[in-house]
Structure 1
Amino acid sequence: MNQLPVEYLFFVGAIGLVGIGVAGMLLCRNLFRVLLALVIAEAGANLLLVLTGYRWDAVAPIVLPGMPAGTTMVDPVPQALVLTAIVIGVGIQAFAVAVLIKIQHGYGSLDRRSLAAMLDRDMNELAGVGPGRSPEAPAGKR
């Protein structure tokens, strides 16, 4: 029986994390859980980026004195991209948590459906329109 290389397992895990995150964003009704799913998807994408630049027979991209010429090194560009993505991701997550706290205080809920209904009601009130009516008359004689 042939055994799969270990690196395939890492790729499957990274793609699995992205899939779990996307499924969580689509299926969860609570906005905080949607944010957590986004964090999981981001971790999977970062892992996938690091894996694309990794070489299993290479060393870290640091030139040391006495290192033999022609030593294969890991590609440092994906590592730098992931490091930047992590920093940006943490900033976005902090901002999203602050917005979620503001929404929770303002509306008392983080449920998508109830928030959509409350936001529709508030926008209709601000526009001076009754619920379920358009500010303009419909086209034609209906």
Structure 2
Amino acid sequence: MELVLALAIGVLSASGVWLLLRPRTFQVIMGLSLLSYAVNIFIFAMGRLKSGAPPVLKGDVFDPARYTDPTPQALVLTAIVISFALTALFLVVILTARGITGSDHVDGKEPDA
């Protein structure tokens, strides 16, 4: 399971960086989204991958190995909301820039062919 998780994070990160380096603005937004997904999965994995374990402490005996950590789950939920708002803001700014410049290139002008 750890290998699959590491591969998923690596593929999402590599794809995000590759898309960030593209000249079109939509590809840059998609790259930022993929990078945020990779970071969210990484943070979520820090809470230990344990299926069927309760996230709330019960009983008198405290054994940290029996419980999942709810803090990464709360951090990921907050990061999802923030990335959604950031993506919406980027889309508005990019649509405005496209209307002003008439191009969807990152630098605002079409390449010379």
Q: TM-score, normalised by structure 1?
A: 0.67
Structure 2: segments with no counterpart, 5+ residues: none
Q: 1:58 to 1:70 in 2, by over 3 A?
A: farther
After TM superposition, give the deviation of residue 36 of structure 1 in Å: 0.8
Q: CA RMSD in A?
A: 2.2
Per chain length, whose mean CA-contact separation is higher, i.e. which structure has more relative contact order (CA < 8 Å, sep 6+)?
2
SS for the counterpart of 1:112 is coil
The answer to whether structure 1 residue 11 and structure 2 residue 6 are counterparts is yes
Cα distance in 1 for partners of 2:89, 2:28 equals: 14
Q: How many residues align?
A: 108
CA contact (8 A) 2:53 2:68 kept: yes
Matched-pair contact (CA < 8 Å) for 1:15–1:48:
no
- 1:63, distance to aligned residue in structure 2 (A): 4.5
Alpha-carbon distance between aligned partners in 2 of 1:46 and 1:59, rounded to the nearest angstrom: 21
In structure 1, C-alpha distance between the alignment counterparts of 2:37 and 2:49, rounded to whole Å = 20
- Unmatched runs of 5 consecutive residues or more in structure 1: 1-5, 118-142
Q: 2:19 maps to what in 1?
A: 24
For 1:98, the equivalent position in structure 2 comes to: 92
TM-score by length of 2: 0.82
| Partners of 1:58 and 1:73 within 8 A in 2 | no
- d(CA) in 2 for partners of 1:88 and 1:63? 29
Give the fraction of aligned pairs with identical amino acids, expressed as a percent: 26
Amino acid in the other structure paired with 2:15: I
CA distance in structure 2 between the partners assigned to 1:110 and 1:16 by the alignment: 26
Alignment correspondent of 2:83: 89
Question: What is the SS of the residue equivalent to 1:17?
Answer: helix
